[in-house]
Structure 1
Amino acid sequence: MSSTRWTAGDVPDQHGRVAVVTGANTGLGFETAKVLAQRGATVVLAVRDVEKGAAAASRMGGDVSVQRLDLSSLTSVREAAEALRGRHPRIDLLIDNAGVMYTPRQTTQDGFELQFGTNHLGHFAFTGLLLDALLPVEGSRVVVVSSVAHRIRAAIHFDDLQWERSYSKVAAYGQSKLANLLFTYELQRRLAAHPTSTVAVAAHPGVSNTELVRHTPAPVRALMDRVGNVLTQPAAMGALPTLRAATDPAVLGGQYFGPSGAGEARGYPRQVASSDQSHDLAVQRRLWAVSEELTGVVFPV
């Protein structure tokens, strides 16, 4: 696969394709959805705040609609998936982009730790409930957005998944982003054993300047304000790995895309490697089983 400067201009024509993007009213999701809409896709912004989603859709142009989705509520996830299946019986792209980062300890409506519950379990359930709409579609893809943080103090704490005994917002975020990759790779393994051309692919945005960093410790935010142009990249650049994972015809299931620069912090997208831990088959399978049990969602593959 070419490592040249892949840009939004390399996104192929998307007319006739339906793309669902979670967390698409700001930041990376907004930039991802905007490019897909500009290239002709029918785009659904799956967002918690529908007013902000409508405002975002109005700035994109093209065929863009809004669906309410609160990933911290399994009830909302089920309602959103049912509504989308009714409106779009076939889906070409599902981009699991939304996320929360470094939040104080909170729980979702279902009692899950907020970062794990939103970033992983919410997307796990949403994907499982929509997958039947992707499986018959030639060339359909699930793209899961992870982070370089999947390497930072990251492990799946099966003995305390919800951080009830103690809480580290950095380690909890790392667990959720590692879970994103474990989920992607296990989903791809299952898809490959199923009679479908649907694939699962992962991406990460490097260090992008978005609202996601609002819970970052104040000294870190202050440093980023001073040297942000050196350490970070704009959201439009951070969205490129996701867009490549979603649209590059050469992409294969189970690949992972991120920026090409030093430390994968910034730069044009290329295929990158994830941690050894993310490829642990036993952990992938155990997390899958636990996720099905916690969400009550059983996948059709």
Structure 2
Amino acid sequence: MTWTTDDIGDLSGTRALITGVTGGLGGEIARELARHGASLVVTARDAAKAETTVAALRSEVPGVQVDVVELDLADLGSVARAADDVLARWDRIDLAINNAGIMIPPFRETVDGFELQIATNHLGHFAWNARLWPVLRDSSARVVAVSSVAHTTVHGIDLRSLTPEGSPRRYKRWQSYGESKLANLVFSQELHRRVTAAGLDVTSVAAHPGVASTELTKTGFSVGGGGPIGFLMHQGTHLVAQSARAGSLPVLQAATDPGLTGGEYLGPRGFRGMRGKPGPASMTRSARDPELARLLWETSERAAGADFTIA
């Protein structure tokens, strides 16, 4: 039977923490969770965009409890400050959705010296979850990683991109994006392994939206000045993509389906996972590789300067 948002139960009393809600996908996720009674803690880099998003949420879902935390995942100092803010204000987080991301920008290094895509999509979220781990663990939270079909386009992760020296290879936007989304999925699988080994009641699952019409391509190109290529890429995606609402469904199922016990990966079930109704998605051998997962975890701890001990 096909899962729909009608299958989401009453989320009253549930607090959901969502990164990146000013784009189409995050906004749809936040809106649907709010409609089912969840209180929201949302993050954003841009305060003005956050205010617009929150105003729209309150207009569409009267009475929703929503708070904003300023967070720039590409800045590890910002991650630390935002995590401290969350830990000071809330003693329970039931649901953490790692949604924010950037896609195929021109080459750029973050303030910490890492390539922008691996830093934003993976390392920032790794550090975010590591610093929030005490409350996530004690809340028996569900952690949802948002990956991509692009993870299937690569066969590994250049871990040198997570070192101070950086990777010496020539920068390729799509390769780096694919590796960052593979890292999201590898992280989710490894978190599942570690909480299971520790006997903790934390659920780690992942999902991808297929090819969805959001602001992701536009944002990526605009970081370094997208020009006509960025415009054409953004418009071309809109021609073939499903809606942001449709793309949000696998993430919403991953976030709310009580039948999921950890380790699952969901996505659209249509042609090549690009569109369609939500359901189980296939992951590559690299995504399931426990040795790659161990190395990624350890390298990420060093890069983020954050101890992510599960037990």
- TM-score, with length taken from structure 1: 0.93
The answer for the alignment partner of 1:117 in structure 2 is 119
CA shift, 1:221, in A, is 4.1
The answer for the alignment partner of 1:19 in structure 2 is 16
Q: Mark the runs of 5 or more structure 2 residues left unpaired by the alignment.
A: 59-63
Alignment coverage as a number of residue pairs: 293
SS at match of 1:46: strand
| Percent identity of equivalent pairs | 42
Instruction: Quote the Cα distance in structure 2 between the aligned partners of 1:193 and 1:159.
Output: 28
Q: Give a deviation string over 1:90-134, Cα, whole Å, max 9, x none.
A: 100010000000000001110010000000000000001112112
Instruction: Quote the Cα distance in structure 1 between the aligned partners of 2:234 and 2:24.
Output: 17
* 1:259 has 2:268 as partner: yes
| 2:204 counterpart letter in structure 1 | A
- Checking the alignment, whether the CA contact within 8 Å between 1:183 and 1:284 is kept in structure 2 is yes
Instruction: Quote the Cα distance in structure 1 between the aligned partners of 2:147 and 2:277.
Output: 17
Task: Assess, with a 3 A threshold, how the Cα gap between structure 1 residues 68 and 82 changes in structure 2: closer, same or farther.
Answer: same
- Checking the alignment, whether the CA contact within 8 Å between 2:30 and 2:40 is kept in structure 1 is yes
Instruction: Quote the Cα distance in structure 2 between the aligned partners of 1:75 and 1:220.
Output: 32
CA shift, 1:136, in A, is 2.1
Instruction: Quote the Cα distance in structure 2 between the aligned partners of 1:85 and 1:255.
Output: 28
Q: Mark the runs of 5 or more structure 1 residues left unpaired by the alignment.
A: none
- TM-score, with length taken from structure 2: 0.90
Instruction: Quote the Cα distance in structure 1 between the aligned partners of 2:236 and 2:206.
Output: 29
SS at match of 2:3: coil
Instruction: Quote the Cα distance in structure 2 between the aligned partners of 1:284 and 1:78.
Output: 23
CA shift, 1:68, in A, is 0.2
Instruction: Quote the Cα distance in structure 1 between the aligned partners of 2:106 and 2:167.
Output: 12
| 1:122 counterpart letter in structure 2 | G
Q: What do you get for the CA RMSD once the two structures are aligned?
A: 1.5
| 1:266 counterpart letter in structure 2 | R
Q: Give a deviation string over 1:125-164, Cα, whole Å, max 9, x none.
A: 00011121121224x2000000000011352113455444
CA shift, 1:9, in A, is 2.1
- Checking the alignment, whether the CA contact within 8 Å between 1:153 and 1:170 is kept in structure 2 is no
- Checking the alignment, whether the CA contact within 8 Å between 1:90 and 1:134 is kept in structure 2 is yes
The answer for the alignment partner of 1:38 in structure 2 is 35
- Checking the alignment, whether the CA contact within 8 Å between 2:160 and 2:167 is kept in structure 1 is no
| 2:157 counterpart letter in structure 1 | I
Instruction: Quote the Cα distance in structure 2 between the aligned partners of 1:132 and 1:159.
Output: 29
Which residue of the other structure, out of 267, 270, 276, is the alignment partner of 2:279? 270
Instruction: Quote the Cα distance in structure 2 between the aligned partners of 1:109 and 1:7.
Output: 41
* 1:287 has 2:288 as partner: no
Instruction: Quote the Cα distance in structure 2 between the aligned partners of 1:154 and 1:172.
Output: 12
The answer for the alignment partner of 1:76 in structure 2 is 78
Which residue of the other structure, out of 96, 99, 102, is the alignment partner of 2:101? 99
| 2:156 counterpart letter in structure 1 | A
List structure 1 segments (4+ residues) > 3 angstroms apart after TM superposition.
159-165, 216-225
Which residue of the other structure, out of 184, 196, 212, is the alignment partner of 2:188? 184
Task: Assess, with a 3 A threshold, how the Cα gap between structure 1 residues 154 and 69 changes in structure 2: closer, same or farther.
Answer: farther
